[in-house]
Amino acid sequence: MILVNDEEVRFLGYFRAARFVPSTAGKAVTVPVSNFRGWKDGKAQSLASRWGYVYRGRNNAGTVTWLFQRDDAPEQDVVGGPSRKIARKVPAARAEAEKVREETGFDVFDAHTCLEVERAAGETAKKSQKPIIGVVFSWIPAVFCLGGAIYLASEGASASDEVTGLTVMSVLAVCLVALGLHFLRKNRATMRLYREVHAPKVALIKRVLTVAEDELLKAGRPT
């Protein structure tokens, strides 16, 4: 095990399972380059590879970040942590996985089962984000329509075209608000599915990976 200093431990913290939640799930782990001044891409790539992450380049839009993806992750990663091959080599993690299997019947280190659980959880987490976009794109126009309707109403809307405009904008605003509420209910239903079906098994995977992470970092720290 290669020794790691405090800064490198902080870098590896971006890959830890504890950091992954559905709202931040994605194809890649992003690490701000500015948080590690003086680091070259090669150093970041080398350190990440020791946890089973592949370097995917930089994202230069806005805050410049390094992009990494776990070599055995599904398209949408909601678990994080070291690659399962690396975690499986840690005796304490294997022991914890055996405890989980005895308690629940779920084998965290069964490659096929674990990948299917992670893939389903990731897809559900991704779906939960789409309705939020629908809410935003429904309610922003609704605000403008409502504002236009209020303006016409304040002007008296005596002319027939103003009355028509007031009616159209009022109806459109109501429809857009209703559409936004539909998307909001859809988001809540998807998140409920995640919490009830996927989150329990994701938590079991993270439980084992956290043990692996702690042991890997402990073994790599100077004494």
What local confidence, expressed as pLDDT, does residue 173 receive? Answer: 60
User: Could you state, in order of their start, the residue ranges of all structural domains in the chain?
Assistant: 6-103+202-220, 116-199
Q: Is residue 183 within 8 Å of residue 142, measured between CB atoms?
A: no
For the CA atoms of 132, 18, 101, 110, the dihedral, rounded to the nearest 10 degrees, stands at 70
Distance CA 185, CA 200 (A): 22
For the CA atoms of 97, 102, 106, 107, the dihedral, rounded to the nearest 10 degrees, stands at 40
User: Residue 68 — φ and ψ, nearest 5°?
Assistant: -135, 150
What local confidence, expressed as pLDDT, does residue 152 receive? Answer: 54
DSSP letter (8 states) at residue 70: E
Q: In what order do the strands lie in the sheet with 65-70?
A: 29-32, 65-70, 53-59
CA distances from 125 to 118, 151, 198 (A): 10, 41, 10
- All residue ranges of the chain with pLDDT < 50 are 131, 161-163, 222-223
